[in-house]
Structure 1
Amino acid sequence: MVTNNRVLNRAILYTLVTLTVVTTIFPFLVMLGTALKTNEEALSVSAGLWPKQITLEHFRDVLDPEKFPYWTYFKNSFITSFVTALLAVVIGTMGAYSFARLEYPGRGAFQKGVMLIYMFSGVLLLVPLYQMVTAAGLYDTKLALIITYLVITMPVSLYMLGNYFRTIPESLEEASMIDGLNRFQVIYKIVLPLSMPAIATVFIYVFMIAWNEYLFASVLITSEENMTLPIGLSRLFYTKHYVWGRMMAASLLTAIPVVLMFALVERYFRGGLTDGGEKG
């Protein structure tokens, strides 16, 4: 009876996992299939999931600057997302460490105030942020997007990093300070190496938010030379070069950097670094 229950539970688990994987991958298969179809087949009612005749025309068109300035949008998105993620990690590390380890007046109020920002939706923050950016003379600049994305992602970054820092035994830091390290050396040599899974997670989280964000970018950016990929993709709908194949090809090319970024830091998600440091 126990064996039958185990078999049934395992079958249910595998079924649910399979359904989840299929549900997740299916939209990408549709996008890839449409991007590889000719215009006639993509618009055909009887077209199947996979093209009968594979063509790379849509990918070539998307990468053609005369038809779609993909590389300009890509450069703007990458600069904005990478700088935002890097600053979020640097600022978030210092702020989260102070919340987790240091004692000073008003620490609790600062923590609650930071998390309070996260309770407001982006729509509510849009108007005040727009007024601040305009008053500072940063309208229609990448710096405006970087500051905005830092504001909307910093609460979660501080929360995630702070919780991870609290799992690191304080005895490690105390022993290091007894050996002569100061507070910044402890952070650099002890805390950061043990916190790479959390740091990688925050970096990916902020990078993805900044890479895919549309609302603030559509309001704060107007010139084509500063537009990011989400805005560029939306503009593709209203151009004479718009066809389904090109839209799907552009969407796939837009998703590749995030996938590659995740693949590069995936090894840091395995954990176990804290246990290894404590045993040492």
Structure 2
Amino acid sequence: MTNNIYQFFFIYLYSIITLFLLAVIGDFVSISIFLSKNIFIYKNIFLYCFLYAICFFAIRIIITNQVSNIFIFIISLALSYFFLINKEINAYQLLIILSVFIAFNLLLQKYFTAKNFSNFLFEVSFLKFLKTNSLIFFSFIIIFPFYLMFVSSLKSQMVLLQNPTDLSIPFFYSISDFFSSYIAVITQYNFLNFALNSTIVSFVTVFVSLFFSIPGAYAVARLRFAGRSKISSSILIIYMVPAIVLVIPLYVIFSQLGFRNSLFSLMIVYPATTIPVALYMLQGYFKGIPYELEESALIDGCSRIGVILRITLPLSVPAILSVSLYVFMIAWNEFLFAFMFLDNQEYFTIPRGLYTQLDDQEVPRQYLMAGSVMITVPVLLLFFIFERYLVGGLTAGSVKG
């Protein structure tokens, strides 16, 4: 009897939190992606969940603890209609809600069709549920701004002004209308030149940072010299100084040297700010490489440079790619130094160029969103392309060597 009560209240609490999170998320996006306006009524959530728990619990008992998929589909369909009673909803929206209920029921079946429910402690199951829903909820909070940015970039100024809370993707647009904002940004706002400048500065920053940080990190990790431990522990001390404190002295120095208002100034500042963190990341990885591998090569007559090129660097490819991606992201998205050092639009990077357009009150919002999407896409593509290289194991690399 106690076991059955646990099951019933577990379903009830499970349902309440799930539907409440759906309600919060739905209201947060104005219910315009999947659901109609005001689908969720908070005061009825507890009643919905109570009836839901009774229905599911009763069916489970009747069918001798074996809930088939057909019954899961039937109860999900019935509850979808019950939940949306007296609401205007189309077939597409109903299919979304039905899928949510089916997935919810299948998840419950995983717990409650086991041989012995007592093996699944109520507290443990409930904490797992909270963990899963928390991940979903906070993932949504992170992903939603990017979705809003993308959807806004696809619409016209008139549509955004008429219905600013509409977050649906306009699939009925033609191809030319669908990407009109991107075409306008590229052709009217000199975006390609901004992108070229950002690309040049970012790749130069990555190259210079790796060129200096790899030998520096190796020296700190492997060589023995006076002050080695102090250097190792003080690598990141530069980050104790806020960037805004460095801007004014650098502005004065670059103005006197004639470096201001050129990409060369950024190619000096960006590596100076990224080399410390690159050193810190690489030296930790170099310390993890078995010294016996390098020692064997030295005994066989290989020079120190040869050891670095033939053993250390091949084993450090995941770390080098991680550092490269991190440095590239910093240089690609940096705004403060670009804003202070660049005045000529010919040398603007993407963040600096977008700020200039944002400062213009007549620039439509969808153009700014389109530019923001085009800033984000290259970094995402690089991450997905190199993801399998970023998760490299030291053991696997040693075996291959």
TM-score, structure 2 normalization: 0.65
Task: From the superposition, tell whether residues 227 and 46 of structure 1 become closer, same or farther in structure 2 (CA, over 3 Å).
Answer: closer
Residue 221, structure 1, aligned to residue 339, structure 2: no
Q: Is the 8 A contact 2:150 2:373 kept in 1?
A: yes
Q: More deviation in 209-218 or 258-267?
A: 258-267
Residue 41, structure 1, aligned to residue 164, structure 2: no
The answer for the alignment partner of 2:240 in structure 1 is 119
The answer for the alignment partner of 1:146 in structure 2 is 267
Residue 259, structure 1, aligned to residue 259, structure 2: no
Residue 170, structure 1, aligned to residue 291, structure 2: yes
Whichever residue aligns with residue 300 of structure 2, its letter is D
Unaligned runs of 5+ in 2: 1-117
Q: Is the 8 A contact 1:160 1:202 kept in 2?
A: yes
Q: Is the 8 A contact 1:34 1:42 kept in 2?
A: yes
Whichever residue aligns with residue 21 of structure 1, its letter is S
Q: Secondary structure at the match of 2:162?
A: coil
Larger Rg: 2
The answer for the alignment partner of 1:28 in structure 2 is 146
Residue 59, structure 1, aligned to residue 170, structure 2: no
TM-score, structure 1 normalization: 0.92
Q: Deviations over 1:15-52 (max 9, x none)?
A: 12212321221111111111111211112245411155
Q: Secondary structure at the match of 1:237?
A: helix
Q: Secondary structure at the match of 1:242?
A: coil
Q: Deviations over 1:189-222 (max 9, x none)?
A: 1111111121111111111111111100001111
CA RMSD of aligned residues (A): 1.9
Q: Deviations over 1:211-247 (max 9, x none)?
A: 1111000011111111100011011123375001111
Residue 209, structure 1, aligned to residue 326, structure 2: no
Q: Is the 8 A contact 1:41 1:51 kept in 2?
A: no
The answer for the alignment partner of 1:134 in structure 2 is 255
Whichever residue aligns with residue 205 of structure 1, its letter is Y
The answer for the alignment partner of 1:275 in structure 2 is 395
Aligned length in residues: 277
Q: Is the 8 A contact 1:41 1:47 kept in 2?
A: no
Task: From the superposition, tell whether residues 46 and 134 of structure 1 become closer, same or farther in structure 2 (CA, over 3 Å).
Answer: closer
Deviation at 1:100, TM superposition (A): 0.7
Counterpart CA distance in 2 for 1:13 and 1:111 is 38
Task: From the superposition, tell whether residues 116 and 176 of structure 1 become closer, same or farther in structure 2 (CA, over 3 Å).
Answer: same
Whichever residue aligns with residue 27 of structure 1, its letter is P
Counterpart CA distance in 2 for 1:162 and 1:146 is 24
Counterpart CA distance in 2 for 1:208 and 1:46 is 31
Task: From the superposition, tell whether residues 112 and 126 of structure 1 become closer, same or farther in structure 2 (CA, over 3 Å).
Answer: farther
Aligned-residue identity in percent: 35
Unaligned runs of 5+ in 1: none
The answer for the alignment partner of 2:135 in structure 1 is 17
Whichever residue aligns with residue 87 of structure 1, its letter is V
Deviation at 1:112, TM superposition (A): 4.9
Counterpart CA distance in 1 for 2:367 and 2:398 is 53
Whichever residue aligns with residue 23 of structure 1, its letter is I
Counterpart CA distance in 2 for 1:91 and 1:46 is 49
Q: Is the 8 A contact 1:81 1:210 kept in 2?
A: yes
Q: Is the 8 A contact 1:89 1:203 kept in 2?
A: yes
Deviation at 1:141, TM superposition (A): 1.4
Counterpart CA distance in 2 for 1:49 and 1:217 is 33
Residue 106, structure 1, aligned to residue 106, structure 2: no
